[in-house]
Amino acid sequence: METANKARENKVDDLLSGLWAGSAAEEEEHVMIHIMALYQVKEGKLTETISAVEEFVDAVKDNEPGTLVYEAVRGKDDLSFFHVMTFQNEEAEEFHRSTPHMSKFAETLSSNCQEEPVFVELDLVRSNIR
């Protein structure tokens, strides 16, 4: 029994040391970037915008491995949209902004939004995403 408990403790210690391995410099290089975009679409532009969002998020999923999370949700009023995104690093965010599907989506939003989208940089407090 005592041997089994010691083996379990060693496994937990190994797991924890693996999670916290790496120098401070390495951790700095791997700081994820979290951003939220908020916008409201014009009356009559909802269907077109939903279609554009779906196409855009699919393109992000298929072409951007450095975009770890990209979720687009709509407010209950049907005109407000919120996009929450997490990028692996600055390079992934820059790549995202430079893609053809980003340009196409931005063009659609420019004609469909009541005002320019607002982007908010976020600091992650906690997540259940694994």
For the stretch 15-59, pLDDT in tens is 444 444 443 444 444 589 999 999 999 999 999 999 999 999 999
Domains in the chain: ranges and CATH: 29-122 (3.30.70.100)
Of residues 61, 55, 58, 71, the one with CA closest to residue 109? 55
Verdict on whether the full-model pTM lies above 0.85: no
User: Cα–Cα distance between 34 and 68 in angstroms, integer?
Assistant: 10
